[in-house]
Structure 1
């Protein structure tokens, strides 16, 4: 038995170099764009149908529940079906679900969210596994930075497409579905170089939650920030005195920062200790969080701070992925990627409830207080790991 088989991977598991990177990044770019069309479109459609905000929130939470449920099984599924075929199938399922949402009564949206959420999670786990497998070790950070930049750009373009198609009727749903289906083309082109896993891959998902806590903790923290802080920014902006039209721009500032800083941060991660870099990112994130109350009343200082803060904190995900790819390979990398996405989804569930609750208790600066607690907890975790590694 070869060393590859012992690790649970099949011969030819390298990911295909440049061809594999183009296939995986191209597919996830289309998925990111399609998903950024989907999220606001579904919420607005339910609102137009008279569904209350509480029920819309509960329905949206099923994305995260599906992600938590499916992630432990993805490496094993990829071993049985194949990384490329399963990735293409998942993107196709997501594309089919979108128009079905429009045609369905509200009660059916709950199982549809579960199916679509599971498919979306599979696409992220397998795309990131493929990218990590194909990336040259000495350039892994910059490759992850390119991936994060492309994905962020896709998320930014989605709302712009909705301004062209409108948010009512069947047309935007068909447009989103078509964009998603485009994501299968790079996968089909690169199918022959997709990394392969054995049928027994991914049997010990849970241990990877704790084997690289600096990486999985970064993913959880980023999930908290992205789903909690970014989604509640408009509400926080209003509470500190900005009008409704202005607060829409706050998320744009964070998104632009995210797009501009991922490649530089990825490049930096190729040249320094990634664990220490993650500590530094979280330290800057904490400092930015504590700075927000001092600048939030003034528009341009607030926007500039959010741009820098959002871009640097966004690199938690980029550098965390690079750190994970440097530590594991083959089936272990697939399982570790699944654990990484699991933690991100968990952060996405915990973040909005925690930050929103803190804002009600300490109005309005519970926003920063809750975030500061998460940053401090992560800093303690990484500092502990760095000290243990030094002994």
Structure 2
């Protein structure tokens, strides 16, 4: 039903073992580098564009609506990503997405037209989502099942490292002027380095029949639910947590530092999330992440003005957010291979888009209604709903 074709020929039995190790090592490092730099693009652009829109006088509700554009792009266009990867190859697909993303990112600086911002946000989000899917497929093809949890944990950690580095860049550049836009564009350009170095180890996914994501979504509801929760919490936190801090009396710099702490937690603990899933199963790990998500959101509301208590809460809360993504990839990675795995990764991104589409507007409306507790209540919604099927499910994943 599918076949994996790695560019480059390998001859001789002893040479085969060495080459496979070499391909895995180079390819995995390159894929990890791609997703880390993509995370920088997300981590910088999400709070940056929210701050710029706030300076332009737009309400938190309009800001929340604008942040849904990448989610709409992910949901609407992710089924096409697989077709483009199959037709043009991962390398060409990645290169095109990077170039268009850079032009869009500069476009935000050169126009203040709100309608153009919605269009730019849609296209920019589609490009980053495309890099996201391609990197997932790349790393998924190289991950053996017995190490998949740990490798996907490292993959998620690299994405999270990118997120908090992006937020960290904003701490130093500020949200005013062209400097943060130049910094973001330079980081996106760096993605070409690992693509070039690993150009002979990039897999081509070929399918002998059309791959549809609908049956994949229906056959893995727990994984798809985890992707929705991740999209909801990740996008909402990185777009609106700094604004929530400002509304509660924190400075802009201190508010951005909240995202840095969330990102550090995401980066440091994903390997352990994957290791727990390898040993005890994904369901147990998901229940742990969901409980941390519930109590973490409550803690944020109570201790938003007490940093020495708030930072540890955000550290573990951030880890649980990325944990949903890590575990979704582990579940689909064990079930699908080849072009089906690419389709499954596309489905994960589509469900991420669904969550991202719901979260920011709901949280923005909540913050407009109650600046003190609207954000917290909105962040409790997905985890309180998701824990129900996890508890009711008897078998592990």
TM tier, shorter chain? 0.7 to 0.9
C-alpha distance 335-202 of structure 1, shift in aligned 2 (>3 A): farther
Residue correspondence of structure 1 range 164-179 to structure 2 within 5 A: 165=173, 167-179=175-187
* Shift in Å, 1:170: 4.2
1:29 to 25, 33, 36: 36
Alpha-carbon distance in structure 2 between the residues aligned to 1:174 and 1:143: 32
Instruction: Find the counterpart in structure 2 of residue 11 from structure 1.
Output: 5
* Shift in Å, 1:258: 1.6
C-alpha distance 302-103 of structure 1, shift in aligned 2 (>3 A): closer
Question: Are 1:80 and 2:87 counterparts?
Answer: yes
2:144 to 117, 124, 136: 136
Alpha-carbon distance in structure 2 between the residues aligned to 1:342 and 1:227: 14
For residues 160-181 of structure 1, the C-alpha deviation after alignment (integer angstroms, 9 at most, x for no partner) is 4345555444444333222211
Q: CA RMSD in A?
A: 3.0
- The runs of 5 or more residues in structure 1 that have no matched partner are 1-5
* Shift in Å, 1:347: 0.8
* Shift in Å, 1:146: 1.5
Given the two structures, how large is their TM-score scaled by the length of structure 2? 0.84
- The runs of 5 or more residues in structure 2 that have no matched partner are 8-19
Size of the aligned set, in residue pairs, is 381
Instruction: Find the counterpart in structure 1 of residue 214 from structure 2.
Output: 206
Question: Are 1:277 and 2:285 counterparts?
Answer: yes
Alpha-carbon distance in structure 1 between the residues aligned to 2:63 and 2:383: 29
C-alpha distance 55-139 of structure 1, shift in aligned 2 (>3 A): same
2:190 to 160, 182, 186: 182
Alpha-carbon distance in structure 2 between the residues aligned to 1:376 and 1:166: 36
* Shift in Å, 1:80: 0.8
Alpha-carbon distance in structure 2 between the residues aligned to 1:115 and 1:192: 29
* Shift in Å, 1:218: 0.8
Q: Tell me, what secondary structure is at the counterpart of 2:146?
A: helix
Instruction: Find the counterpart in structure 2 of residue 63 from structure 1.
Output: 70
Alpha-carbon distance in structure 2 between the residues aligned to 1:99 and 1:248: 22
C-alpha distance 238-370 of structure 1, shift in aligned 2 (>3 A): same
Instruction: Find the counterpart in structure 1 of residue 161 from structure 2.
Output: 153
Residue correspondence of structure 1 range 72-111 to structure 2 within 5 A: 72-104=79-111, 106=113, 107-111=115-119
Instruction: Find the counterpart in structure 2 of residue 127 from structure 1.
Output: 135
Alpha-carbon distance in structure 2 between the residues aligned to 1:165 and 1:237: 19
Alpha-carbon distance in structure 2 between the residues aligned to 1:29 and 1:363: 33
Contact 1:278 1:320 in 2 (8 A): no
* Shift in Å, 1:32: 1.9
Alpha-carbon distance in structure 2 between the residues aligned to 1:33 and 1:361: 31
2:308 to 264, 283, 300: 300
Given the two structures, how large is their TM-score scaled by the length of structure 1? 0.85
Alpha-carbon distance in structure 2 between the residues aligned to 1:389 and 1:269: 10
